Amino acid sequence: MKQPTLLFLLFLFTITSFSQVEFSGKVIDHKGTPIEGANVYLEGTYDGTSTDKNGNYNFSSSETGTQTLVVSFISFETFYKTDIVNNLNNLNIKLREDVNTLDAVVINAGSFDAGNKARAVALKPLDIVTTASALGDAVGALQTLPGTSANDEDGRLFVRGGDANETQIFIDGIRVFNPFIPSANNIPTRGRFSPFLFKGLSFSTGGYSAEYGQALSSVLTFNTIDQPDQEKTELQFMSVGLGAGNTQIWGKNSFSINTSYINLAPYQLAFPDRNEWNEPFEGASGEMVYRYKPNEDGLIKLYGAFNYSNFDLIQDDINFENGFNFALENTNLYFNGSYKQRLGNRWSISGGMSYTNENTDINLEEDKVNDVENSAHFKVKATKGFSNRFKLSFGSEYFITNFREDFFQNTSNSNFDYTFNNNILGTFAEADIFFSKKLATKIGIRLENSEVTNQFTVSPRVSIAYKAGKYSQFSLAYGQFYQNPSSEFLKFTNSLSAENASHYIANYQYIKDRQQFRIEGYYKSYDDLVKFDGVVASPLSNYTNTGEGYAKGVDLFWRDGKNIKNLEYWVSYSFLDTERDYRNYPTKATPNFASKHNMSVVGKYWVNDWKTQLGISYRFATGRTYTNPNTTGFLNEKTKNYNSVSLNAAYLISQQKILYFSVNNVLGTQNVFGYNYRNQPNANGTFDRQALRPNADQFFFIGFFWSISDDNKSNQLNNL
Amino acid sequence: MKKIITLLVLVSAITISAQTKYEKGMMKAFELWGAKESDKAAQLFERISKAEQNEWLPSYYVATIEILGSFGLKDEAKLNSKLKKAQEFLDEAKSISPKNPEIMINQALLNTAYIAFDGQKYGMTLSVKNAAIYKEALELAPNNPRVILSKAEWDMGSAEFFGQSIEPYCKDVEKTVPLFEKEKLPKFYPRGGIERAKNILKKCKKEN
């Protein structure tokens, strides 16, 4: 009896052991270190196991024929091998690191990102709207980052020795031609766009991607929200005006609208400034976004904005006894449509167009100017990922600008007409290559053909980044950048060619636990800058491209949200050494918009018991150059240093009601941006002067923001 | 967080009956999970999910384990990797079982893991998303005690933050107890919550 049973059992055992196939092997990383805890299994079956601490695994399966062995482990690319089962034994498997993780190297020389998708975030979404000095203007918040200059009389972005025209702004990859609301001398302008339609932005202070052209110094790109989360109505009651917004969602569609009306008359009555206002600033604006998601992988966005502003004032001017009368009426219509679609096989395409119509009427004393600009931008871009480590993008775009100016000169009682077309065809291609999790590069080239300058330009761009340690990395970037001369010159001449800049950037960054330190050194050389003769650019001037210049410096940034509970702060410092010979400069000199040292300190402290966020920002800049006609020389003297401390507080009355208060330049520091000299010397033979001061030293703002939504949860913190 | 894990494991108790391969596999995974071998449990769930293309539960549990394991992490890269994996499996589960309130509240839990890590960075966008998710889940399943409970907990969190009374939400939590008790669920279906609800009710009583 015994023997047959044994035999039978033995027989059975043999069968099972024959039908069971062994799978064993070892899993290691690129350095040969064993990986513990990797999931090893046959695809489509339950058969598998985890690797032990030596990276070894061993399991058996009754599967036969051709099978796929899968090895997956977090932060590594999943490994697949398909073969007949007998060939899947005794494997030595090397997993490749996933380069798509937060601790991988990032190509970021020159750029700052905001939003919650970005890996190295310099500004968080709330920062854009809660920085004390910014007054809810995204551009204002960026002025606390290194590489920018504090030019409060202008309000636009002056980046690394470049003037404001050298920065271009894009929404969803499409150019915005006139991004700023016009303002009078010494009154800072603001961006036209309310920050809450955007989910993130990237601000590059140099060395940017070949996708962007026509900017010598800097590009700022905004991304609008893809899909709003809920329907809501928002109301804003402010000391300077009113605002309202609404979002609707239905099916695959959503629609948001935002309107505001600003009137500074009551404010100026309460706090008179240095000007005499015939008509205080009045502005109305409306923005709307329609989004349609035709399928999971596609998105269409249509964005439209209308903006009207109007004012009339008399500014003190040493050369005009009764002051200088300046009046402006501006309408701006902007439309932007974009389409994104992910296709199969790691292809994706995006495209879009924008159209701007800007109409400005200006009265300068008795002279009248009417400017009409029609611009459009068309763009198509395709991206193909060949693997996680190699991505290629390429695209083409066309810019059209038609500008017309009618100038009525009172003294001669005559009309002048100036017009030009500035059309540019651009093509770009760029490769993103990861050699490993530690080393990556981006290589691109941009070709442009400009009709007005009758010129074909080639701009190579290269950047490379190396992760030296767990928390630190080095980056280098180089690029060539071309930009056509501004309309100020193109309206008078067609003999100019594009201005040119080269950037060389070296960057070191250390990020650990909500602390971030970066230092960036750069050298930028300018060539082919426009020069002209005469006091102002006029039809009679001679224009050449013989100007040149340089800017070099060091930018430092430190952000800390770790050491003190509920406190986030950052410190920026920029050293800038720049000289240029352009416009009608008789010699190379530091332009009057550049200060040698710039510093910003921004702090935000959340007081939980008060439900209030308190904010402070301090900005400092050393003096700016001006020409003193009483001495010989050009831009040879400097103003005193600039100082400004701003405070704000946002109090959450309830989830949906916020009270906001801010005051700019709380100490009332009397800042001077330059001097205006009398055209004629006085009896003693000296020229009298007048300090160029901000319109008002201080600015107060009080607002009440109320959101109404179904869930009673959302608020307008992101609006402030 | 430990409590939640233990509870989830406890309440995902398994009834033993005639077993298919799927059932055996799932039971084994729960066993591992119960024995604090959550990585191994996740891996088995992962294998089952790849083999069973029509079952949303295995993917759901892979995501659950990764999400729960991400709370308390200090390293953002690690947190991000875990939650990205969780998101992949949640998306998988969603594609098998769209508009599933259990998956939706897990999505909200995933978002909460980000918010808990860095409220300044993730709070603004994700808390609005969570509010929308809870609203939709409640519309789909007004009598699902886990949906009511999760939503109430979320609401209590924000009420406490704003120094408001959590009392109105206590009533919601109270409602869930009988719902939990009479709940009859398919095998391996997420069933946690009654203990959590009772604990919250204790806190509610203390406040009043």
CATH number, domain containing residue A224: 2.40.170.20
- Of the pLDDT bands very low, low, confident and very high (cuts 50, 70, 90), residue B126 is confident
The verdict on residue A72 lying in a domain is yes
Q: What's the distance, Cα to Cα, between the start and end of chain A in Å?
A: 90
The residue among A290, A292, A270, A295 whose CA lies nearest residue A280 is A270
Interface of B with A in 146-185 (CB under 8 A): 158, 162-164
Mean pLDDT of all residues in A238-267: 90
Q: Which of A66, A94, A122 is the last residue of a domain?
A: A94
Say how far apart CA A335 and CA A303 lie, in whole Å: 6
Contact B122 A43 (CB under 8 A): no
Model pLDDT, residue A150: 78
Q: Nearest CA of chain B to the CA of A575: how many Å?
A: 29
Mean pLDDT of all residues in A365-377: 95
Contact A654 B158 (CB under 8 A): no
The verdict on residue A102 lying in a domain is no
Say how far apart CA B152 and CA B155 lie, in whole Å: 5
Same domain, A694 and A667: yes
Q: Is A44 helix (H, G, I), strand (E, B) or coil?
A: coil
> Does residue B47 belong to the interface with chain A, where contact is any CB pair within 8 Å?
yes
Q: How is residue A104 written in tokens?
A: 């991988």
**pLDDT above 90 for B187:** no
Model pLDDT, residue A102: 79
Q: Please tell me which residue, A235 or A6, carries the higher pLDDT value.
A: A235
Same domain, A194 and A287: yes
* Helices (H) then strands (E): counts for chain B: 10, 0
- Of the pLDDT bands very low, low, confident and very high (cuts 50, 70, 90), residue A384 is very high
Say how far apart CA A585 and CA A531 lie, in whole Å: 8
Q: Which amino acid is at B186?
A: P
Whether the CB-CB separation of B119 and B134 falls below 8 Å is answered with no
The predicted-structure confidence for A635-681, as pLDDT tens digits, reads as follows 999 999 999 999 999 888 877 788 989 999 999 999 999 999 999 99
The single-letter DSSP state of residue A225 is -
Question: Which candidate from A50, A514, A654 shows the least CB-CB separation from B162?
Answer: A654
- Of the pLDDT bands very low, low, confident and very high (cuts 50, 70, 90), residue A720 is very low
Same domain, A117 and A90: no
Q: Which of A37, A64, A94 is the last residue of a domain?
A: A94
Q: Which residues of A touch B80 (CB under 8 A)?
A: 101-102
Per-residue burial over A35-73, b if 16 or more Cβ lie within 10 Å, else e, is: bebbbbbbbebbbbbbbeeebebebebebeeebebbbbb
The verdict on residue A106 lying in a domain is no
**pLDDT above 90 for A381:** yes
> Which run of H or of E encompasses B156?
helix B145-161
Question: Which candidate from B76, B120, B158 shows the least CB-CB separation from A655?
Answer: B158
The predicted-structure confidence for A57-102, as pLDDT tens digits, reads as follows 999 888 888 999 999 998 899 999 999 988 888 899 999 988 888 7
Q: Which amino acid is at B135?
A: K
Question: Which CATH number characterizes residue A53's domain?
Answer: 2.60.40.1120
Model pLDDT, residue A41: 94
Model pLDDT, residue B3: 54
- Of the pLDDT bands very low, low, confident and very high (cuts 50, 70, 90), residue A15 is very low
User: Count of domains in chain A?
Assistant: 2
The predicted-structure confidence for A122-151, as pLDDT tens digits, reads as follows 777 667 767 887 777 788 888 999 999 878
The verdict on residue A172 lying in a domain is yes
Model pLDDT, residue A16: 45
Q: How is residue A195 written in tokens?
A: 């920050």
The predicted-structure confidence for A465-516, as pLDDT tens digits, reads as follows 999 998 899 999 999 999 999 999 999 998 999 999 999 999 999 988 778 9
Helix B38-51 × helix B57-70 angle, to 10°: 150
The predicted-structure confidence for A387-396, as pLDDT tens digits, reads as follows 889 999 999 9
Same domain, A37 and A179: no
Q: How is residue A321 written in tokens?
A: 């006894």
Instruction: Report the half-sphere exposure of B36 (CA within 13 A, side-chain side).
Output: 2
The residue among A275, A279, A271 whose CA lies nearest residue A324 is A275
Say how far apart CA A302 and CA A334 lie, in whole Å: 11
Whether the CB-CB separation of A155 and A188 falls below 8 Å is answered with yes
Q: Which residues of B touch A116 (CB under 8 A)?
A: 121-122, 124-126
The verdict on residue A13 lying in a domain is no
Q: Which residues of A touch B120 (CB under 8 A)?
A: 124, 126, 561, 568
Mean pLDDT of all residues in A104-110: 81
Q: Nearest CA of chain A to the CA of B124: how many Å?
A: 7
Contact B124 A710 (CB under 8 A): no
DSSP A226-272: SS-SS-EEEEEEETTEEEEEEEEEETTEEEEEEEEEEE-HHHHHHS-
Model pLDDT, residue B192: 77
B2-207 fold: 1.25.40
Q: Is A693 helix (H, G, I), strand (E, B) or coil?
A: coil
Model pLDDT, residue A478: 96
Spatial strand order in the sheet of A91-94: A56-61, A21-28, A91-94
**pLDDT above 60 for A534:** yes
Q: Please tell me which residue, A348 or B192, carries the higher pLDDT value.
A: A348
Interface of B with A in 67-96 (CB under 8 A): 74, 76-78, 80-82, 84-85
The residue among B171, B103, B112 whose CA lies nearest residue B137 is B103
CA B115 to chain centre: 16
Percent over 90 (pLDDT), chain B? 49
Percent over 90 (pLDDT), chain A? 62
Backbone φ, ψ for residue A16 (5° rounding): -60, -45
Same domain, A167 and A90: no
Q: Please tell me which residue, B206 or A149, carries the higher pLDDT value.
A: A149
Contact A50 B82 (CB under 8 A): no
Contact A711 B134 (CB under 8 A): yes
**pLDDT above 60 for A8:** no
The verdict on residue A9 lying in a domain is no
Q: How far is CA A437 from CA A31, A440, A465, A612, in A?
A: 12, 8, 10, 41
Domain encompassing residue A59: 19-94
Neighbours of A272 (CB within 10 A): 11
The verdict on residue A176 lying in a domain is yes
CA B85 to chain centre: 16
Mean pLDDT of all residues in A347-373: 94
Highest-confidence segment of A323-327, B10-14, B179-183? A323-327
Q: What's the distance, Cα to Cα, between the start and end of chain B in Å?
A: 26
The predicted-structure confidence for A395-454, as pLDDT tens digits, reads as follows 999 999 999 999 999 999 999 999 999 999 999 999 999 999 899 999 999 999 999 999
Whether the CB-CB separation of B110 and B80 falls below 8 Å is answered with no
- Bridge partners, A93 (sequence order): A27
The single-letter DSSP state of residue A158 is -
Same domain, A200 and A75: no
- Of the pLDDT bands very low, low, confident and very high (cuts 50, 70, 90), residue A564 is confident
The verdict on residue A101 lying in a domain is no
Q: Which residues of A touch B125 (CB under 8 A)?
A: 116, 125, 199
Average pLDDT, chain A: 89
> Which run of H or of E encompasses A711?
none
- Of the pLDDT bands very low, low, confident and very high (cuts 50, 70, 90), residue A116 is low
Q: How is residue A175 written in tokens?
A: 């150019």
Say how far apart CA A491 and CA A86 lie, in whole Å: 77
Highest-confidence segment of A292-296, A619-623, B160-164? A619-623
Mean pLDDT of all residues in A263-287: 89
- Of the pLDDT bands very low, low, confident and very high (cuts 50, 70, 90), residue B207 is low
Model pLDDT, residue A541: 94
**pLDDT above 70 for A719:** no
Same domain, A76 and A225: no
**pLDDT above 80 for B57:** yes
Q: Which of A94, A120, A153 is the last residue of a domain?
A: A94
Q: Nearest CA of chain A to the CA of B47: how many Å?
A: 6
Same domain, A395 and A284: yes
Same domain, A360 and A214: yes
Model pLDDT, residue B17: 43
Say how far apart CA A340 and CA A335 lie, in whole Å: 17
Question: Which candidate from B25, B82, B120 shows the least CB-CB separation from A561?
Answer: B120
Question: Which candidate from A41, A126, A199 shows the least CB-CB separation from B120?
Answer: A126
Q: Nearest-CA residue of chain A relative to B21? A: A46
Model pLDDT, residue A329: 96
Q: Nearest-CA residue of chain A relative to B154? A: A713
> Does residue A266 belong to the interface with chain B, where contact is any CB pair within 8 Å?
no
Q: Which residue has the tokens 């999971």?
A: A296
- Of the pLDDT bands very low, low, confident and very high (cuts 50, 70, 90), residue A5 is low
Neighbours of A236 (CB within 10 A): 23
Contact B162 A714 (CB under 8 A): no
Same domain, A56 and A173: no
The predicted-structure confidence for A305-345, as pLDDT tens digits, reads as follows 999 999 999 998 999 988 999 999 999 999 999 999 999 88
Q: Nearest-CA residue of chain A relative to B53? A: A44
Percent over 70 (pLDDT), chain A? 94
β-strand pairing of A597-607 with A567-581: antiparallel
Say how far apart CA A41 and CA B47 lie, in whole Å: 7
State the best of A711, A712, A716, A720 to mutate against chain B, taking most chain B CBs within 10 Å: A711
Q: Nearest CA of chain B to the CA of A714: how many Å?
A: 6
Model pLDDT, residue A356: 95
| ipTM here | 0.80
**pLDDT above 90 for B125:** no
Model pLDDT, residue A710: 64
